[in-house]
Structure 1
């Protein structure tokens, strides 16, 4: 009898739990339906699932690291400048409206989208970008950080860092010269990655990795692994609960830990040097620590968050831009000819390129801007709309994330005629300035702190490459793009090189 009662009680409890779960599920479905009703006046593609919304379509568009922004370009063409994307009870608004870019990105009252950027606080279970400059959604906290870091990227420091740019780029040119026989294959993307990582570690933190010279370090692979892990985490947030992914997740977290541990050691060492009155390197870290002291300090964990951010934004994106430029130039003989004519006139074959020289390279500036239009390593950003707003005559309910994609806008005919043509004349000083449809470094108060640093470095490396070498892609190389958290050339820009003929004259 006692056993029968126990079984009856257990069955009743199980039944109650099932009923409770069913009620919770139906309540959630009702909430999702309410969300649909609230936002379905906004144009958008048909949902592939009531609950999962467009997630299946988006996941298919990102398989094998394909660029999801190509799908967004297609949707913008089909559904207009404002369209919605659904996932569960979340709704994201994608905008290719220049007026919305101007109103929202140029204003400090619209913070970074917390749904996306707070998820980058951690990467799986390990602190990743935390509350660094890139991810901090709190505008006042971000503004304090920016005030501390701005002086480190001022004109005086940028003139000084030209020495590092020249030194590391020259080392690369010497290495490439040994392989410039027209036969050996060289991955320019891998080679340029070594330069940009050497530059950021030296210029920002006084570290000598010596990657260009051939030193072995886990940093390049760690950054690549972290970036791939980041996009996996953003696209598949539930994978950390699936045992089949746990080995991969541990590998990603190990790489994040390596970056943060190295940063912590670097920062602690520099602080100790400051306390003991030693002569300090004139790098970004020293300037930031000095400014932080004047501003009543900056939390060490926040410093580490920015250490990670500098590696991702300061190294990876510049390397990718330069690699895209080299890739595109292999099919642009007329543009290469104009670039070399400008270089011959401004620089000749000097090995030490000055800050003033760089400022005279107007056509190279146009080429690099056009590269960023067609191949932006950082394809977009998002902001949070707290209150109702009207964009292009469509009411957007408050509590919504709005996504802006410079990649999408850069490939729309209405903004850039013949958008897939690589045409640096779009950025000639006398050409009409793109009206809030081009923002590879973002716009407004949250624009990229290191954009001038990045473009100076890009010009030094590209100038030296064009000074010295002719290069062409090996057979089988494509011009495709790969999305690994930032956009990069899919095939690595594998080339054969020969000494430039004019260099012997």
Structure 2
């Protein structure tokens, strides 16, 4: 009995001690958040939903309702001005729509990528995702080494040599569309474009034929799952602690493993070919292997970084281009005058040719304007973040260092003060003689960490769109919404379901 009483006393004391420690930790966290509020609350911003969670509930509510968080950033910017404060637990994000500050911060290498986002991109719910690859790397030296080695795979000389593959894969899409036109069935253009852009990146970057328009693979679903998981991982710190989310978290982990296992297999096959002295293309896969150092002395981390970059290019090279093309088709179908003007240019430049040349792309000026205007209203990667290590004054407001600056190209692209009638689709905004947007249009980010593959993506988009306009008419199926789905990247929620027919006025 005495022993039992002694154990009970020890348990009670331990419980009281743990309660005391928890109370001290809670009080300390409360005081720290109070200090953060006092430090940054002079900056304009919307009322917080709660003391601890800040504006997190608003963002999570929008995600649950299928809304685009950047619409809220746009509304807040119009109410509170070019600099506004948002609180998420003890983190402070300053959203900036001031062109001068955008130029200063994004164009300079002294403002690093934000650590929290980089950490959330490193792994998804414990499964390594983008790791320390080009997109996820926070350390500038590690990033710069990889970027310098990757650059040759995106030089204009190398991109010229990809025109054959762009044409070949786009022709596969045209054959599929011809079958659909002949059968007079409806089709999701987004689905077809996801297939063709994944085919392109697999062939051009990794030397692999997937032929997704004829066969099915789990890759598109895996990419979509990873991106959705990435969104929750970044915006909801407590997502993985909710038991109801465990099935989805399991799907995300399996999708990450699938992509990385596939990458490991393709890298192994390429390294074996290189070791055997076989001729290998100087493509992205070869550059990924080179970026890891000497093949015969790689560390485990070098191997992982190769897989990081594989996943980065596999996803980034497919997802954003497919979404841009789908949005473009959606808008052209809604604007017959613009569609006809773009089609006339294609007829004048391309005529009846099956193979589009690199020089042809330079003459498709109005089509370039159409694609740029698409990215203004629908930037497929809608925002970027940077750390602000030192105090700074933006639009007359003192910003203490230690916070994160967030830039939404979605918000600035839809602001009246930058673009007249911003929701009107008007490619003439990007006419060669029109005034250039001043640091309010950056769908591929800006500065040293801008998208490495932006020229690649726009060449591919032009080839696909030119062939589509050359050969087919397309009409949106009635009853669709024109809503946007936010899965980390932005995509058309409806899938852009169309009826397709052969052009009867081809020259």
TM band (smaller chain): over 0.9
- Residue matched to 1:20: 21
Task: Return the alpha-carbon distance in structure 2 between the equivalents of residues 380 and 10 of structure 1.
Answer: 51
Mapping for residues 369-380 of structure 1, pairs under 5 Å: 369-380=372-383
Equivalent-residue separation in structure 1 for 2:280 and 2:53 (angstroms): 54
Question: Which piece of structure 1 moves more, 374-383 or 228-237?
Answer: 228-237
Is the contact between residue 188 and residue 498 of structure 2 (CA under 8 Å) also seen in structure 1?
yes
Q: Secondary structure at the match of 2:229?
A: helix
**Aligned equivalent of 1:192:** 193
Aligned to 1:400: 403
Q: 1:190: how far off?
A: 0.2
Q: Distance in 2 between matches of 1:35 and 1:286?
A: 47
Partner of 1:440, secondary structure, is: coil
For 1:414, the equivalent position in structure 2 comes to 417
CA distance in 2, matches of 1:132, 1:27: 36
Q: Give the structure 1 partner of residue 361 of structure 2.
A: 358
- Asked if residue 223 in structure 1 is aligned to residue 230 in structure 2, the reply is no
SS in 2 for 1:482: strand
Q: CA RMSD in A?
A: 1.7
Stretch deviating more after TM superposition (303-312 or 233-242) = 233-242
CA deviation string 1:385-413 (max 9, x = no partner): 11111111111111111100100100110
Query: Offset of 1:11 from its aligned partner?
Result: 2.5
Question: What's the TM-score once normalised by structure 1's chain length?
Answer: 0.96
1:80-95 → structure 2 map (5 Å cutoff): 80-95=81-96
* Aligned partners of 2:187 and 2:499 also within 8 Å: yes
Deviation at 1:456, TM superposition (A): 0.3
1:315 to 292, 310, 318: 318
Alignment of 1:95-134 (within 5 A): 95-134=96-135
**How many residues are matched?**
503
Separation in structure 2 between the aligned mates of residue 141 and residue 176 of structure 1, nearest angstrom: 44
1:472 alignment partner in structure 2: 475
Q: Which residue of 1 aligns with 2:151?
A: 150
- TM-score, normalised on structure 2? 0.96
Q: Distance in 2 between matches of 1:220 and 1:64?
A: 24
* Alignment partners' CA distance in 1, 2:144 and 2:229: 29
DSSP 3-state at the match of 1:180: helix
Question: Is 1:493 matched with 2:491?
Answer: no
- Counterpart residue number, 2:12: 11
What's the CA shift for 1:5?
Answer: 4.2
In the aligned structure 1, how far is the partner of 2:161 from the partner of 2:66?
38
Gaps of 5+ in 1: none
Cα–Cα, structure 1 residues 284 and 4, in superposed 2: closer, same or farther, change >3 Å?
closer
Q: Contact (CA 8 Å) 1:374, 1:407: kept in 2 or not? A: yes
In 2, are the aligned partners of 1:182 and 1:497 still within 8 Å (CA)? no
CA distance in 1: counterparts of 2:218 and 2:292, whole angstroms:
30
Deviation of 1:469 after TM superposition, in Å, equals 1.0
Unaligned runs of 5+ in 2: none
Q: Given that residues 101 and 436 in structure 1 are in contact (C-alpha distance below 8 angstroms), is that contact kept between their aligned partners in structure 2?
A: yes
Retained in 1: the 8 A contact 2:430–2:436?
yes
Query: In structure 1, how many angstroms separate the alpha carbons of the residues matched to 2:339 and 2:10?
Result: 81
